[in-house]
Each structure stands twice: as C-alpha cells, then as structure tokens.
Copies of this chain bind each other. A is one copy, B any other.
Amino acid sequence: MDNLLKCEANYTALTPLMFLSRAAACFANRASVIHEGTRFTWAQTYERCRRLASSLRALNISRTDVVSVLAPNIPAMYEMHFAVPMAGAVLNTINTRLDAKNIATILRHSEAKIFFVDYEFVSKARDALRMLMDDNNINRQQKGDSTAKPTNQHNNTFSLPLVIVIDDINSPTGIRLGELEYEQMVHHGNPNYVPEMIQDEWTPIALNYTSGTTSEPKGVVYSHRGAYLSTLSLILGWEMGSEPVYLWTLPMFHCNGWTFTWGVAARGGTSVCLRTTAARDIYRNIVLHNVTHMCCAPIVFNIIIEAKPSERCEIRLKGKPPVEILTGGAPPPASLLEQIESLGFHVTHAYGLTEATGPALVCEWQKKWNMLSQQEQAQLKARQGVSVLTMADVDVKNLDTMESVPKDGKTMGEIVLKGSGIMMGYFKDHEATSKAFGNGWFRTGDVGVIHPDGYLEIKDRSKDVIISGGENISSVEVESVLYRHPWVLEAAVVAMPHPRWGESPCAFVSLKKNNNSSSKNEVTEAEIIGYCRKNLPHFMVPKVVKFMEKLPQTSTGKIQKFELRVMAKAFVVPENVQSNKKSSQVDQNNIGGYNNHDQILAMSRL
C-alpha cells in the first residue's frame, strides 16, 4: 500500500472555518445573523469576516497571537469566531461576568495582543487595563528599570493589548476606549482577503479560561481539528437538521457557545443574537424568528417558567414542532422538565466541560422510551447519556486500578474521556496538563455510574461527594429530591463535619417567589427534612437545612458550592440528628455502592 499520495486534494486540515466559506457558497442569501434591526446573509457574514481578518493582519496580528474579546452575544462576537482564526490568530472569549481583576489576570496570562470590548463593558475593561499597567510599573520599579520596553512575558511585564471597542450595531453610542472601533475595522478591511491557510489541523483556534472556583483560572486550548470534530459531534448528537434558527441564550464565551458558533454555519442556519436572557426578549425572539433551537443552563428554565404573563408569547403553535433546548450542568429536575416542556419546548440533556470542547455526552433519546410515563421519561432525560460521535471512548473508572466500574447504575467511579474533541492542553501549564491526561485518558473530576443500558449518569463532582460513615453520598441525588419539593427553587447540598460519621449532608435552599399563598410560611427546616426522609435513605437526609434568598453563584451561573462548604463547616449537628444514628446504620446496609475499604479510599481521593 505504498505509492499512495498524501496531498492537498485528499488530506486537508480539518477546521470549522470551512463551514463559513461553504455557507457563503451554498446559502449566500440566507440569513446568517440577526440582532434586532440588524440582519446579515451568509455572503455578507463571510465578507465581513474576511474584511475583519485582513484588518487584524494589518495590525500585525500573526499566527498563534491571542485576540481577546469581552462581549455579549452580539453579531461581532459571532463573526470573531471565524475572523480571528482566519487571520491565523487564537480567539480568547472572556466571561463578561468576571470582575476587572479576573479579566486582568486572563489578559496577562494569555498575552493578548488585541482586546475587543463591547461598549457596555468599557468601564470594567478600563479597570482591568489599569491594573495591568500598575502591575507593569511595579514590576519595572522592582527591576530598577523604569524605561525598559516590555518584550515578552519572561520579564514579568508585557505589552498592553491594543483595545478596540465594539459599539452598538443597532444604535451606535459613540463610546470609545482608544481610537479603534469594530465596524470601522470591518469597513476598512479587504473584502477579498484570502484567509490564512491552516496547514496543520493541530493548531490552536481558541483559548477559553475555566471559571475556577477554588484556583486560578486555567487556559484551555482548542485545536482546529478538535473544534471541527466537536462541532460535527454535537450537530449529530442533537440531530440538528438544516436551516436551524438558533437563539443565543447560551453565552458564546462558554466553550465557544458549545461549538454552535461554528455549528450554525455548518448547518446553514441563522443565529439570533441576544444581549441578555431577559424573559421578554427570549419569548419575543422565539416567535418573531421562528426559533427552532437554543442551548442554556437550567437557570434559564427558571427565567422562562417564571416570566410574567406580559412577558410571554405562545410558543406552542399547531403543526409547529417544539423548540429544541440542549441543556448542560446540573441534571434538570423532573418537575422543571415537565413545566418547561408544557410551554412548547423539548429538552435534551448533555454533559460536557470546557476541556472537552463542550458537550461530550448527550442523552440520545431512544424511541422505546416514548412509551414510558412522563416521570420515567424525566428520569431518563436527567441522565447524561452516551458519548458524542467524535469522542473515541468514554468510561467510568476506578482511577487507582484503571478498571471500569460494572454497568450496574450504582457503582461510582470517575468519568474519563478520550478523543480528538479533548483540548490540546492548558496554556502555559504543563503540570496541570500532564495531571489531566493520565493513562491515556482525560480525567473529568466528575463521579458517575454506568447504567445497565450503557448510559452514563453523573452523581457528583468528585470534590462534592459527601463521605458519611464510609458511604458515598451523591450531593446531586439529594438535590434532585429537594428540587421535587413544590416550594424549592434552588438547592445545593454539601458536606458538613459530623462527630461520628465524619461528614454528613447539609442543604442550602432558596424558595420560589411568585406564589403568594400562605402555605409558603409552613416551609420549615423540619418540613424539608421530613420530605427528604420520605424520599431518601435516612443516611442521605440532610442533617441541617438553611434557607437563603439566593444561592451564591459563580460567574457562569453555577452554584458556588465552595462558599457553601465554608459556611457549612461552622454548623453544629443538632441533637435530634445525633439520636438518629441507628436508623442511619440500618439504611447503609440496604443500599448499594462502595463497601470495600480500598474502594472507599479510592473514591475519597478522586
């Protein structure tokens, strides 16, 4: 089998950039991006991206330079997903919910050459840049050389990025931070610019910082190959057909919008941009543009469900299929699923993480499940499912032995992944990269089980598992019971110290607001504990329940368990719970899970 010819005709680098040129060639006049009064076609989007890419090149942006962006889901944010790599550079989208200090950290770590800032975030960006300047000055003074020109990161100072403001495309405000503005960059660019050829698909395309709750953010690097394959994966896994109308309720700064920035182009669809996830805007855009697909965290379900009547529109129209929602993060509780689906949505649950270029598992629906009760369907839907098609393998393993757990839906282990959709590594952090890739697998840090039918279900983040008397308690499992309580809006369960069991579960909940009936006053700690006793083995029942107005969240909308854990450490286990020892012990013998001492140790070290 020699003499076969590997050449440009039969071995082209896999890159999501080809989705745009293809869309421009095949669907030139179809709507690509809509944002209020602004509407582009694929031919226009391609031209705008080429113009912007040529302007970036004119600013001396070259290969593997980082271009950072701080912007909501606006057309510019969408375009940069193509234009920046078309200039050969690496796109770094920054979470807009971060504070100036975090943003400064990211700009410094990424050594961003250009920093695009939406006009709404100019003040925050200015603060971040000022911090960088101050740091530079301090570093220079420490070296006793206040005139030295910064050259690279090794001398602790670095060139500040060139700032380009993105003004409002629908009604320009004139707000600036420096001289350059996005639309001018597009306008002055070359419409016939020939994009940088991607010679090697193992070339960085994007840099996404994880929102570390306990540590410094880590810079996850995606390759063109990984981005391309992950995009195809998710279209396939979600079965997104052609001409989707995709509503941007998921921030594009989350794993490049779970790859749908590129995916909508691949499908020749239309992106409907949204600056915020206000209920009114969501409903209005769905109806106005016949939205077919959207992704969101479960928190957006609450926004949709709790919308005021004046903010709502009727989504369920005769003959129209439901709006497809892909959700990730915490498994949506059955009650929430039922409510959202009754409004005209259909929910698919996925599991992913930044390091896996977004969703790595999708709960692929099986036709035979249509026969089951709504409750049973919701239970199945809450599972994380099966690997997407470009993930080479997924498993749940005991990391000490690297043995797979049995497919019994009970034995927990760490979820490990492998495949070309996994990140290239953490930027400038070889140690963390090596630690993440062990024995040929990427370790997710998530604890799960495999059901007999091969579907995975996540039980917890490894650090969130509560180990009580040698038993592993999945905080997610307790939370899912709490979520079924009619008055609970948010729930989080963490470990609190226990004199006898080591740890025991402690619950934090917030209650629903828009229901003014008197029964709410009856929701007490004792009532919630009683409710849990009816629905959980006793050893899993929270020993303490604390009510909060709103649970603390990370910048990406995840509940901040780290903070809750700190609070829980101060709690004392009440007397009446101490007296429950016996019943707890009995229950422990009745449930499955880790009983072997070595396994318990392995779990606690996950």
The reply to whether the CB of A235 lies closer than 8 angstroms to some CB of chain B is yes
The complex places the Cα of A256 from the Cα of B277 at a distance, in Å, of 47
Min Cβ gap A154→B in Å is 13
**Given known A-B contacts A425-B4, A454-B26, A418 and B10 have beta carbons under 8 A apart:** yes
The reply to whether B389 and A232 form a contact with Cβ atoms under 8 Å apart is yes
Min Cβ gap A352→B in Å is 15
Q: Contact string, A337-358, partner B, CB cutoff 8 A, digits 1/0? A: 0000000000000000000000
Spot the interface stretch: A430-438, A563-571, A583-591, A594-602: A430-438
The reply to whether the CB of A330 lies closer than 8 angstroms to some CB of chain B is no
The reply to whether A10 and B442 form a contact with Cβ atoms under 8 Å apart is yes
The reply to whether A424 and B18 form a contact with Cβ atoms under 8 Å apart is no
The complex places the Cα of A582 from the Cα of B371 at a distance, in Å, of 72
The reply to whether the CB of A6 lies closer than 8 angstroms to some CB of chain B is yes
Cβ of A393: which chain B residues have Cβ within 8 Å of it? 12, 18, 21
The reply to whether B221 and A1 form a contact with Cβ atoms under 8 Å apart is yes
Q: Contact string, A405-441, partner B, CB cutoff 8 A, digits 1/0? A: 0000000000001111011110111100110010011
The reply to whether the CB of A536 lies closer than 8 angstroms to some CB of chain B is no
**Given known A-B contacts A364-B26, A454-B28, A437 and B12 have beta carbons under 8 A apart:** no
The reply to whether A420 and B236 form a contact with Cβ atoms under 8 Å apart is no
Cβ of A367: which chain B residues have Cβ within 8 Å of it? 243
Cβ of A243: which chain B residues have Cβ within 8 Å of it? 366-367
The residue in chain B whose Cβ has the minimal distance to the Cβ of A452 is: B28
The complex places the Cα of A422 from the Cα of B9 at a distance, in Å, of 7
Q: Please tell me how many copies of the chain the complex holds.
A: 2
The complex places the Cα of A392 from the Cα of B90 at a distance, in Å, of 21
The complex places the Cα of A239 from the Cα of B6 at a distance, in Å, of 30
The reply to whether B437 and A242 form a contact with Cβ atoms under 8 Å apart is no
The reply to whether B453 and A28 form a contact with Cβ atoms under 8 Å apart is yes
Task: Select one of B28, B64, B386, B427 contacting A22, CB under 8 A.
Answer: B386
| A interface, over-half SS | loop
Cβ of A202: which chain B residues have Cβ within 8 Å of it? 6, 11
Cβ of A420: which chain B residues have Cβ within 8 Å of it? 10-12, 14
Cβ of A3: which chain B residues have Cβ within 8 Å of it? 425, 428-430, 433
Task: Select one of B29, B232, B235, B386 contacting A26, CB under 8 A.
Answer: B386
The residue in chain B whose Cβ has the minimal distance to the Cβ of A66 is: B1
**Given known A-B contacts A10-B418, A26-B454, A90 and B437 have beta carbons under 8 A apart:** no
Q: Which residues 1-57 of A sit at the B interface, judged by CB distance below 8 A?
A: 1, 3-12, 14, 18-19, 21-22, 25-29
The reply to whether B4 and A424 form a contact with Cβ atoms under 8 Å apart is yes
The reply to whether A1 and B437 form a contact with Cβ atoms under 8 Å apart is no
Cβ of A423: which chain B residues have Cβ within 8 Å of it? 10
The complex places the Cα of A364 from the Cα of B23 at a distance, in Å, of 12
The complex places the Cα of A441 from the Cα of B424 at a distance, in Å, of 30
Cβ of A366: which chain B residues have Cβ within 8 Å of it? 27, 243
The reply to whether B27 and A454 form a contact with Cβ atoms under 8 Å apart is yes
Cβ of A364: which chain B residues have Cβ within 8 Å of it? 26, 242, 268
Cβ of A427: which chain B residues have Cβ within 8 Å of it? 1, 4
Cβ of A229: which chain B residues have Cβ within 8 Å of it? 14
The reply to whether the CB of A116 lies closer than 8 angstroms to some CB of chain B is no
The reply to whether the CB of A204 lies closer than 8 angstroms to some CB of chain B is yes
The residue in chain B whose Cβ has the minimal distance to the Cβ of A440 is: B8
Task: Select one of B5, B266, B434 contacting A425, CB under 8 A.
Answer: B5
The residue in chain B whose Cβ has the minimal distance to the Cβ of A425 is: B4
Min Cβ gap A291→B in Å is 14
Most buried by B among A10, A64, A420, A442: A10
> Which A residues fall within an 8 A CB radius of B?
1, 3-12, 14, 18-19, 21-22, 25-29, 64, 90, 202, 204, 221, 226, 229, 232, 235-236, 239, 241-243, 266, 268, 364-367, 386-387, 389-390, 392-393, 417-420, 422-425, 427-430, 433-434, 437, 440-442, 453-455
10 contacting pairs across A/B (C-beta < 8 A): A3-B433, A4-B427, A5-B434, A10-B420, A12-B420, A14-B420, A232-B232, A236-B236, A239-B242, A266-B389
In the complex, the 5 A-B pairs of residues with the closest C-beta atoms, listed nearest first: A8-B440, A10-B422, A12-B392, A4-B425, A26-B386
